[in-house]
Structure 1
Amino acid sequence: MKHLILGAVCALAMAFGSTTVQAADDYTDHVVNSTSRGLAMDGFDPVAYFVEGKPAKGNQAFRADHKGRTWLFASTKNRNTFLAAPDSYAPQNNGWCAWAVAHGYAAEVDFIDGWFIAEDKLYVTWSADVKERFLKDKDALLAQSQANWDNVHAGLQDGSVKFVAHSQRPNLGFIHPQQLPES
């Protein structure tokens, strides 16, 4: 039995990458997924996902503070829209990977290709592949993510929950803060 459990743990580690627990000190108090510079969502405009249907990099000229982080927006209109109803536009799980939260841990996200909108809420995931897996069982995983969030959030703050960073999987090519390709 012991070998069966060890084998399952190893299989999961290979499937989802490193299971190393990383101290998440670089992410301050984990209120929202932010860079060490205090920018929420790597500086992406949360409203753009809804109104443009795609990610847009925010601009320092259009900024606002919310939940102790600086949020950037692509326009004054998007900033004002966010400020009128921040909980309607900020990502669920405070910007941590919805798949990870559904499975009881926290992980960084891909703001460019790992996002989706469900039930008029923005969700982000580790990568485009993880997003596709999430969407195959969306209803169950959304419910599990919502059920786990309070425990994951508390665990991020006290260090008791596993945290997986893209830097632990350099072969994926993620560098934070993420940048949109030049168009």
Structure 2
Amino acid sequence: MSRILLLISLFFSAATFAADEVYTGFFSSKALSGYDTVSYFEGGPVKGSSKFKTDYKGAEWLFSSQANLDKFLADPEQYAPQYGGYCAWAIAEKDDLAPGDPAYWDIVDGKLYLNYDKSIKNKWEKDIPGFIVQGDLNWAKR
């Protein structure tokens, strides 16, 4: 496996991977690792199903029900995570594209934000409004 990653790294720079508008990981096309983005707004994340899916911004989005898929299709910007699902703290603090983990999330003012892991989420929680202001500025430059 490490040889494969080495070969990939020889052919692609970090900037090539960073160009994705929505974070899906290196070997997946699924936004939010297959979690239903609408479910975050309705009690907490649940895995989506390939029975209810759509493509949006170059990624595959899975949903747990037709109702959630319909809500997303009606207003994807309302439900899609901010900063394309990349780590909100990394965007704000480092202007960097680190992966967002669907297990570490917050909804702030009706918007979904993901963070890299528990320790980063703890940093994020120390100044969420400030990080959002800076994250919005940094994301707009991309």
- Structure-1-length-normalised TM-score: 0.65
Higher CA-based Rg: 1
Distance in 2 of aligned mates of 1:42 and 1:102: 22
Which residue in the other structure is 1:74 paired with? 64
- Which whole-Å deviations, capped at 9, do the CAs of 1:142-170 have from their partners, x for residues lacking one? 1000011133xx3xxxxxxxxxxxxxxxx
Q: Following the alignment from structure 2 to structure 1, what is the Cα–Cα distance between the partners of residues 54 and 32?
A: 13
Q: Which amino acid aligns with 2:65?
A: S
Aligned to 1:116: 106
Q: State whether structure 2 residue 135 is matched by structure 1 residue 129.
A: no
Q: How does 1:41-120 map to 2 (within 5 A)?
A: 41-52=32-43, 54-103=44-93, 104-112=95-103, 114-120=104-110
How big is the alpha-carbon RMSD for the aligned residues of Structure 1 and Structure 2? 1.6
Question: Residues 153-172 of structure 1 correspond to what in structure 2 (within 5 A)?
Answer: 154=142
> Greater relative contact order (Cα 8 A, min sep 6): structure 1 or 2?
1
Q: Contact 2:81/2:111 (CA < 8 Å) preserved in 1?
A: yes
Q: 1:28 to 1:105 in 2, by over 3 A?
A: closer
Q: How far is 1:129 from its partner?
A: 2.2
Structure 2: distance between partners of 1:37 and 1:148: 26
**Which 4+ runs in 1 deviate beyond 6 A?**
none
Q: Percent identity?
A: 38
Mark the runs of 5 or more structure 2 residues left unpaired by the alignment. Answer: 1-12
How many corresponding residue pairs? 128
When you count strand as a share of all residues, which structure comes out higher?
2
TM-score with structure 2 setting the length: 0.83
Unpaired segments ≥5 residues, structure 1: 1-21, 155-183
